[in-house]
A and B are shown apart, each in its own frame.
Chain A
Amino acid sequence: MDISKMDRYAAPVHFSSLPLLTTFLCGVGLLLLAAFTMLQVTATKYNRNFLKELFIAATASIFLGFGSVFLLLWVGIYV
């Protein structure tokens, strides 16, 4: 394809919004991590709820995953 017919490529996330995204996503992720840890520490072997733990773990890891990628981009590691 001819390059003159193409558009300039802009990043899906602008550089200036990276700090905010990182702090928000990592922050929520860490809070969920804390909730998960609390759950793990306080639960006894009679009241463990597998689905609840799995749900918190999945949400936390999604937030932490996206947050850490944006953190990498923010600090200049362009993945």
Chain B
Amino acid sequence: MRLLLIVALLGAVLAEDDWKAVNVDRTIDATSQIVKISTLYSFENIGAGPQSKVSIALTKEEVAGLSHITAAIDGTKGKLKVAEKPVDRGLGIYDVDLRTPIAKGAKVTLRVNLRLTQVLEPLPAKISQSENQFVVLHTSAYVPSRYETVTQKTTIRTTQGGKLLSATTVSPSKQETERVSYGPYANIPAFESKPIKVHYENNSPFVVATIVERYIEVSHWGNIAVEEYVELVHKGAELDGPFSRIDYQMDRRGRRQPAFQQFTTVLPAQAKDIYYRDEIGNISTSAVRIRADSVDVEIRPRFPLFGGWKTSYIIGYNLPSEEYLYSKGNQYALKTKLFDHVFSDIVVEKLRTKVLLPEHVKRVKVVTPYVVDRRPDELKPTYLDTTGRLVVVLEKNNVVPDHSQFFTVTYEFNHMDMLREPLLAAAFFFSLFFVMIVYSRFDFTISSDPAKEAEERSQLSLEKLSKSVDSKQAAYDALIDAAQHYKSTKDEAELQEAKKIFNETRNQENSNLTDKISALKTDVGIAAAEKAAELLKYDKAVCDSVENYIKAVEKSTTKTAGPEEQQFVNKVKDARIRADNVLASI
């Protein structure tokens, strides 16, 4: 009876362990500043029925430095959902949703990838320029697990060609060049741990970006401007003592010094107008290489970064909107990288991505591939803006290159709003013109100058007079044209009509002239008016000969102008000259 009770209790306790880890193969890649752990779990369902959730355990250190976690069924591409659970007996628990339930007794193979940042501890913490950098990796010889593990093995990859100072021995463990292997261990109970330390040489620069501010400015005129502000700190072993440029140049380790000398930033293939600068100005020690599917910017900061040193810079480029902006009606969607390549194995403490959308956008929605903190929207006024552009601010801490993924911002925008910018510029120019128009209507003269005013008035009258003379002459020309036309058509009525129009025009202009001349008399003076009166009579002789001219035309049988007609044309020309003389004399 008592035995039965114990068995029942044991059963109740074991009921939690619905899975058994049949085989675990863990590889820890600690060659750079990011610790990359790839674990292949083989789980067997020992529960009462089918299950679709399995738990992954992480040590406390791993949880603290965890930046990125992915889980997938080995051999497939689809990523599984991973959810964080409360800490259990000192281990961080993450639930993996397997999507399809696994039958009782069946096995599933999971590949879990972890990216840990800032978990390697430099030892010694300070080194001189000529020394190499050594770091300590703290982990457990046993793979942390919530379930009992039948067999397991761990391989730790240390730097190629680097020294291995020490590694905790947990039999059977083996130290080889470039790697330390632990295991295989058989039948390790759940929550068992065996802390180990691996002290090895790691000269890869531990350069951390304390902040990366990424601006993505969308212009509907066909451009997406990207700018990144990057602050870098070397967080490896600090430089102890002085820095010598000569020693640095002559260092036989070359690129393998623990200093950060140069790096390559990979930009999208369509990137153009690339700039790389800092507070001082352009940094000329950079080169752009155009590759088939990317644009590589080779960057060499102003000085090499030793432990504890900092630098900051700005890199920017333009992208065509066709590649990243989509539209349908007034719906727009921007699909671009939330975080893009800076250099391989970068660690970013704080990533702030700002998306500057055009003015007057509505219903902005952001879809990100992983959880980010959306800060309150901002307004940023730039060129030709009235209220300022909407800025979507997204923040994320502890970012690694695996976070370089696409995200989508959808919004509504009325494309007629694009006209606002040129119209704003036009309104600006118009206001300048308008100021000119108003200004020119003010009179700022201190004393009035009657002579000048009279001069201006007579100028105006003269203009009017000459206009009347012009139309009178135009009437003669029209008459001559009509006469020429008559010669080919022989249409009597047309000619009479033209003559009538001519007479009307002439009388009209003469009466106009009479009015203007009387106005001139009051404005300018009697002398001028008398001279101007000549304009009424100057063409009298021509006018009298119109009848003769018409007759001559009617009689004429040839197409070319006869002597009488020629005479008339000359008379018209003479009249014009006479009128001009009269105008000039006034």
Contact = CB atoms under 8 A, between A and B. Distances in A.
A65 B433 contact: no
Interface in B47-97: none
B450 to A, nearest CB: 13
B292 interface: no
Interface residues of A, number: 41
Contacts, number: 126
B194 interface: no
Interface residues of B, number: 50
B421 A8 contact: no
B433 A61 contact: yes
Contacts of B428: 61, 65
Given A1-B410, A78-B217, A9 B426 contact: no
Given A1-B410, A11-B222, A66 B422 contact: yes
A19 to B, nearest CB: 15
A64 B371 CA distance: 47
Contacts of A1: 328, 331, 333, 410
B217 A12 contact: no
Contact of A9 (B322, B384, B429): B322
Best-surrounded residue of A6, A8, A64, A78 (most CB of chain B within 10 A)? A78
A46 B454 CA distance: 11
B331 A40 contact: no
Contacts of A36: 433, 436
Best-surrounded residue of B223, B422, B456 (most CB of chain A within 10 A)? B422
A58 B430 contact: yes
Contacts of B222: 10-15, 78
Given A57-B430, A66-B422, A13 B335 contact: no
Interface in B207-246: 217, 219-223, 225
Contacts of A60: 429, 433
Contacts of A40: 436-437, 440
A62 B425 CA distance: 8
A76 B318 contact: yes
A77 B432 CA distance: 23
A73 interface: yes
Nearest to A54: B437
B460 interface: yes
B325 interface: yes
Interface in B425-451: 425-430, 432-434, 436-437, 440-441, 443
Interface string A6-39: 1111111111000000000000010000001000
Contacts of A62: 426
A6 B460 contact: no
Contacts of A72: 383-384
B429 A61 contact: yes
A7 B383 CA distance: 28
Interface string B398-437: 0000000000101000010010011111111110111011
Contacts of B373: none
B174 interface: no
Nearest to A32: B433
A12 B331 CA distance: 16
A64 B325 CA distance: 29
Contact of A3 (B335, B427, B433): B335
Given A44-B456, A48-B441, A7 B426 contact: no
Interface of B: 217, 219-223, 225, 273, 318, 321-323, 325-328, 331-333, 335, 382-384, 408, 410, 415, 418, 421-430, 432-434, 436-437, 440-441, 443, 456-457, 459-460, 463
26 contacts: A3-B410, A9-B325, A9-B326, A11-B321, A13-B222, A36-B433, A40-B436, A44-B459, A44-B460, A46-B456, A48-B440, A57-B437, A61-B429, A64-B429, A65-B426, A65-B429, A65-B430, A69-B422, A72-B384, A76-B273, A77-B383, A78-B219, A78-B221, A78-B223, A79-B219, A79-B384
